[in-house]
Amino acid sequence: MTDPTEMVLTGGFAVALGIFVVSAMVRRVLAGRGSPEPPMESGAVSEDSPYQVPAEILMPPPLPPPGRVAVWFYRPLDLLGAGFVFLVFAGLLLGSLSGGQGEEPVLSPEVLLVNIGFQFVMAGVVTVIVMSRVSLDAWVGLRWRSWPRVFLIAPAAVFLMWMVFGGLQMSGYVKWMESLGVETVQDTVMLLQKSEDPLVLGLMAFAAVVAAPLCEEIVFRGYFYPVLKRFAGVWPAALCSALVFASAHGNLTAMLPLLIFGILLVWIYEKTGSLWAPIAVHFCFNGATVMVQLAARYYEIPIPPAP
């Protein structure tokens, strides 16, 4: 049977684009007919919100917003920025798929450093784009009064994702993927399991535990998601951003759990209003994965393959 990885992963990008375009068009048509626009630019925030909207900005009527992620400072021009993010990760996916599936990853320290640098460059680009018009505090909610909640939110989210992995494992999901000829282990996990170079292991651990949680959250949840939310609404934006996030990782087996993880991170961001929360969750999730893989390797602990 032909490996469906390329078709499904590229299809994920296509579906995300289609959902956004249709949702944005429907939203615009309804607004043109006089239907009330969902209060995506409402200035109403809770007392616990870390956002501080400048008083001179006039806001629509104080209807309850569908979340705490502010979008009032995004403009139609940001669609070009979101499109840039979309095209960059779509291009990287196509490039990785053209290199062949099923081959063991061979990543040198130089390649890993380039990958880490790329993540920080992408995060820096979107930061410059947004901070040209709004402060960092107002953008990602740095002044979050309830920040100690991350010590409860992060472990609970990791435990929930482990339950998802366990459910997929028990349902036969991984065996089904194997029957399709799909690689069931992500490249990063494979390197942690098999690489003998301590520098490669160290760089991979840094990329997974530090670079990815910080940079991916800034790009996907901090910028890509709220831009889509501004023009398409909360749930279409959540689904689209999660689809792109999951597909960009380049592993079909991991696509479903990463889709769930991406939606969970958006939900946490909306509930807290601060990017610190999804960053902490992402950090704990990746950190736990690295520790489990290294412990399984060096202490010969048998663990089932996770999606």
Length of the chain: 307
Where do the domains of the chain lie?
5-97+106-298
Which pair of structure tokens corresponds to residue 250? Answer: 């380049």
Could you tell me the CA-to-CA distances from 35 to 29, 30, 59, 289 in Å, in that order? 9, 5, 18, 47
Residues 11-35 pLDDT 10s: 999 999 999 999 999 998 987 776 5
**pLDDT less than 70: residues of the chain:** 1, 34-66, 99-106, 300-307
Q: Which residue's entry shows tokens 């089904």?
A: 176
Residue-averaged pLDDT of the chain: 86
Long-range contacts of 222-226 (CB under 8 A, 24+ apart): 222/126, 222/130, 222/139, 222/140, 222/275, 223/81, 223/82, 223/85, 223/126, 223/129, 223/130, 224/82, 224/85, 224/86, 224/126, 225/69, 225/266, 225/269, 226/69, 226/70, 226/71, 226/74
What's the pLDDT score for residue 295? Answer: 81
